[in-house]
A = this chain, B = another copy of it.
Amino acid sequence: MNELQERILKEGQVLGNGILKVDSFVNHQVDPNLMDACGREFAKRFAHVGATKILTAEISGIAPALTTAIHLRLPVVYARKTKPITMPDQVYLTLAPSHTKGRMVELIVSPEYLANNEKVLIIDDFLASGQTILGLVRLAETAGSKVVGIGTLIEKVFEGGRDVLKSVGVPIESIACIKSLDNNTITFVD
């Protein structure tokens, strides 16, 4: 069992409806040492894919993407959910359903920072239904770039996101794979 799994068992809270609360170390309060260890682990697992840029989605993807970027020494771009006034009028925009928000959210990237022929490593906090990550894949491909890997801190295997992403044809790595949250019990994949 790795450090992230241990922390999930110790502090994760099952809220029902498939929601796992990890606000004390990932989503509201962040443990920087744990996040740095996860970034180092992603850097190791994706060392061979030749990424030139890391892509994530605000807000909760920023921390693991940044620590991965530090260890791989690559720039990281976070897709915005609202268009700031500093962004040009012409952007890449896609929609993805948000499970925790119960509605569609926009994912927006400026063409200034996602160009042709980048090799994009996608890093996010959760892999659940896979829809947010699929949105990031669409953004990267629309920009003429190629996704070369997908890494998430926590995969909720029972939501089937890995199957949804299979068509992308790249390595998918999760640091903690959760098989079930049934009966308020967190069970990891063996």
Q: Which residues of A contact B (CB under 8 A)?
A: 15, 19, 21, 23-24, 27-33, 35-36, 58-59, 62-63, 66-67, 69-70, 73-78, 80, 84-87, 100, 109-110, 112-113
Copies of this chain, tallied across the complex: 2
Contact B86 A36 (CB under 8 A): no
Q: Are A85 and B28 in contact (CB under 8 A)?
A: no
Cβ contact within 8 Å between B86 and A29: no
Complex CA distance for A58 and B60, rounded to whole angstroms: 9
Do B76 and A23 touch (CB < 8 A)? no
When C-beta atoms are compared, the residue in chain B nearest to A64 turns out to be: B66
Residue from B29, B67, B85, B110 in contact with A100 in the complex, judged by beta carbons closer than 8 Å: B85
Residues of B within 8 A of A58 (CB): 58-59
State whether B74 touches A100 (Cβ < 8 A): no
Q: How far apart sit A27 and B62, CA to CA, in the bound complex (Å)?
A: 11
Starting from the known contacts A28-B87, A30-B76, 5 additional A-B residue pairs (CB-CB under 8 Å) come to: A23-B86, A32-B69, A33-B70, A59-B80, A62-B63
Which residues on the B side are within 8 Å of A63 (C-beta)? 62, 66
6 A-B pairs whose Cβ atoms sit less than 8 Å apart in the complex: A23-B87, A23-B113, A30-B76, A59-B78, A62-B66, A84-B100
User: Chain B residues with Cβ under 8 A from A87's Cβ?
Assistant: 23, 28
Contacts of A100 in B (CB 8 A): 84-86
Chain B residues lying within 8 Å of A32, measured Cβ to Cβ, are 66, 69-70, 73-76
Tell me the complex Cα distance, A86–B20, Å.
8
